[in-house]
């Protein structure tokens, strides 16, 4: 099949209710997207799997849910107020605005407009710096404002709660604090769908360690997170790679950083960054807040500011990579079959149940009974609103691993036909055995 292009993926996501444009009926809002019914299910599954893997299954990580709105001091300390800015340039011909680091430089001071392809002369159209944070007024009155910011990453909520968590959980280092939540950046984008949004969701761990152990844990987390994408999200290894940042590319706080990149329809791009942030954040917050955020090791009687390793993943980019990787078009009997080859743990429904004929009440009732029985054990879907071929296609498109058809023979032999999404092979299985059959195959 031809490579999945972005237009195809966007229209597929819209058509099947995965993702809609933000504020769509009012003309839309650039780089803001809403997740529809099926998108919301997959997105929640991604987050649940991440949370289970790290907060529930690891003994050295605890969870947190800190606020989105934070006071100015937090971002003075973190460096976001001074450094979290992009250099933007306007095309004088088509009037579009771009990040200067994302467009082609063709000569000294000369850039190529990605849209109208004309030259932009940076000497005449001076680039301007633009802070990415959303500022808001938390006071009740306009004339006596109190400014705060929507967090541009969930990480800062973790740093400022470091001693709260330590003191209330009585943990020792190494200790990870994990958080899933929304982050906001006033990004200038070039239409890469949910890759770059103004409102998005992150899954971040700040893993606090003794400085001597930072390198070891940095390497551990790069490997661990790579494995998560292949083993838990089912992404194809060939479409993933690690990319280590060069020294001049590192963010102001980082000692080292490796991106995990995915081969999106527009090329290799960051899915997640794993950084060794050193002691930058805790040192800064100690200095600006004047609260001591150092750690005291009872065993060695040593007091120090821990280093932190940060695996920082985007929920939306993970979602996007999963859709791109699992979307397939296959030719079946002269027609194109669209099938979403999702890893079953991410499929919105694990099983769909249909009566072969919807005008036969006995079949409808048998199919519905089976549906109500299974529904309590597995996410299931019942449908009788079309011919059987159409019902199969609908489920293939949303990645349902198994479809069950109840036919006239089912009334006497008490068996149904189970069809596999990927192979399209069909098997006859006793009604009482449907759950076990599917459950075994899902593993």
Identify the residue among 261, 272, 281, 396 touching ligand ATP (CB under 6 A). Answer: 272
Nearer to ligand ATP, 4 or 202 (CB): 202
Give, for 332, the enclosing helix (H) or strand (E). strand 327-332
Q: Is 80 in the site for ligand ATP (CB under 6 A)?
A: no
In the complex, least distance from residue 163 CB atom to ligand ATP, rounded to whole angstroms: 24
In the complex, least distance from residue 181 CB atom to ligand ATP, rounded to whole angstroms: 11
Cβ–Cβ contacts within 10 Å for residue 114, how many?
15
Q: Is 200 in the site for ligand ATP (CB under 6 A)?
A: yes
Nearer to ligand ATP, 260 or 370 (CB): 260
Q: Is 151 in the site for ligand ATP (CB under 6 A)?
A: no
Q: Is 226 in the site for ligand ATP (CB under 6 A)?
A: no
Q: Is 317 in the site for ligand ATP (CB under 6 A)?
A: yes
Nearer to ligand ATP, 35 or 371 (CB): 35
Q: How far apart are CA 161 and CA 215, in angstroms?
A: 24
Q: Is 273 in the site for ligand ATP (CB under 6 A)?
A: yes
Nearer to ligand ATP, 273 or 355 (CB): 273
Longest dimension (CA), the chain: 82
Per the CB < 8 A criterion, the answer to whether 193 and 187 are in contact is: no
Binding mask 170-199 for ligand ATP (x = CB under 6 A): ---------------x-x--------xx--
Q: Looking at 51-59, 65-73, 300-308, 309-317, which segment touches ligand ATP (CB under 6 A)?
A: 309-317
Identify the residue among 181, 314, 348, 401 touching ligand ATP (CB under 6 A). Answer: 314
Q: How far apart are CA 440 and CA 443, in angstroms?
A: 5
In the complex, least distance from residue 71 CB atom to ligand ATP, rounded to whole angstroms: 21
Q: Is 206 in the site for ligand ATP (CB under 6 A)?
A: no
In the complex, least distance from residue 271 CB atom to ligand ATP, rounded to whole angstroms: 6
Residues 368-397 that bind ligand ATP (CB under 6 A): none
Number of residues that bind ligand ATP (CB under 6 A): 16
Q: Is 321 in the site for ligand ATP (CB under 6 A)?
A: no
* Residue at shortest CB range from ligand ATP: 314
Q: Looking at 169-177, 216-224, 264-272, 377-385, which segment touches ligand ATP (CB under 6 A)?
A: 264-272
Angle at 376 between CA 374 and CA 379, to 5 degrees: 75
In the complex, least distance from residue 186 CB atom to ligand ATP, rounded to whole angstroms: 9
In the complex, least distance from residue 432 CB atom to ligand ATP, rounded to whole angstroms: 45
Nearer to ligand ATP, 39 or 273 (CB): 273
Q: How far apart are CA 435 and CA 432, in angstroms?
A: 7
Q: Looking at 109-117, 235-243, 314-322, 384-392, which segment touches ligand ATP (CB under 6 A)?
A: 314-322
Per the CB < 8 A criterion, the answer to whether 75 and 156 are in contact is: yes
Q: Is 235 in the site for ligand ATP (CB under 6 A)?
A: no
Residues lying near ligand ATP in the complex (CB under 6 A) = 153, 185, 187, 196-197, 200, 202, 270-273, 312-314, 316-317
């Amino acid at each position: 099949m031809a490579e999945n292009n972005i237009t195809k993926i966007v229209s597929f996501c819209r058509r099947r209710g995965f993702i809609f444009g933000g504020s769509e009926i009012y003309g839309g809002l650039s780089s803001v997207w809403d997740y529809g019914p099926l998108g919301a299910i997959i997105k929640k599954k991604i987050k649940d799997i991440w949370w289970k893997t790290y907060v529930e299954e690891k003994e050295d990580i605890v969870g947190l849910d800190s606020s989105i709105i934070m006071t100015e001091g937090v971002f003075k300390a973190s460096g976001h107020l001074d450094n979290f800015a992009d250099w933007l340039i306007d095309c004088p011909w088509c009037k579009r605005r771009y990040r200067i680091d994302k467009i082609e430089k063709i000569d000294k001071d000369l850039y190529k407009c990605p849209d109208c392809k004309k030259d932009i002369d940076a000497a005449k159209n001076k680039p301007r710096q633009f802070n990415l944070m959303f500022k808001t007024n938390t006071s009740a009155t306009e004339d006596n404002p109190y400014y705060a910011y929507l967090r541009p990453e969930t990480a800062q909520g973790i740093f400022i709660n470091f001693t709260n968590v330590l003191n209330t959980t009585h943990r020792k280092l190494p200790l990870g604090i994990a958080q899933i939540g929304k982050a906001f950046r006033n990004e200038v984008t070039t239409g890469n769908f949910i890759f770059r949004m103004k409102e998005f969701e992150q899954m971040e761990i700040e893993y606090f360690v003794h400085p001597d152990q930072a390198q070891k844990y940095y390497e551990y987390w790069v490997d661990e997170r790579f494995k998560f994408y292949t083993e838990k999200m089912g992404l194809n290894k060939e479409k993933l790679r690690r990319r280590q940042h060069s020294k001049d590319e590192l963010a102001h706080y980082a000692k080292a950083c490796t991106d995990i990149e995915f081969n999106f329809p527009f090329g290799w791009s960051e899915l997640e960054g794993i950084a060794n942030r050193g002691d930058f954040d805790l040192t800064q917050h100690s200095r600006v807040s004047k609260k001591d955020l150092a750690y005291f090791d009872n065993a060695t009687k040593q007091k120090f500011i821990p280093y932190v390793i940060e695996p920082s993943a985007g929920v939306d980019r993970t979602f996007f990579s999963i859709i791109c990787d699992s979307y397939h078009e296959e030719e079946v009997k002269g027609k194109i079959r669209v099938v979403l080859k999702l890893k079953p743990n991410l499929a919105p429904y694990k099983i769909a149940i249909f009566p072969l004929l919807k005008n036969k009440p006995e079949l409808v009732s048998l199919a519905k009974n089976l549906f109500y029985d299974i529904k309590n054990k597995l996410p299931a879907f019942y449908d009788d609103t079309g011919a059987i071929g159409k019902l199969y296609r609908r489920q293939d498109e949303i990645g349902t691993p198994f479809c069950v058809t109840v036919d006239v023979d089912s009334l006497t032999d008490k068996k149904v036909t189970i069809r596999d999404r990927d192979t399209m092979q069909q098997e006859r299985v006793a009604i009482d055995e449907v759950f076990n059959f599917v459950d075994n195959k899902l593993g």
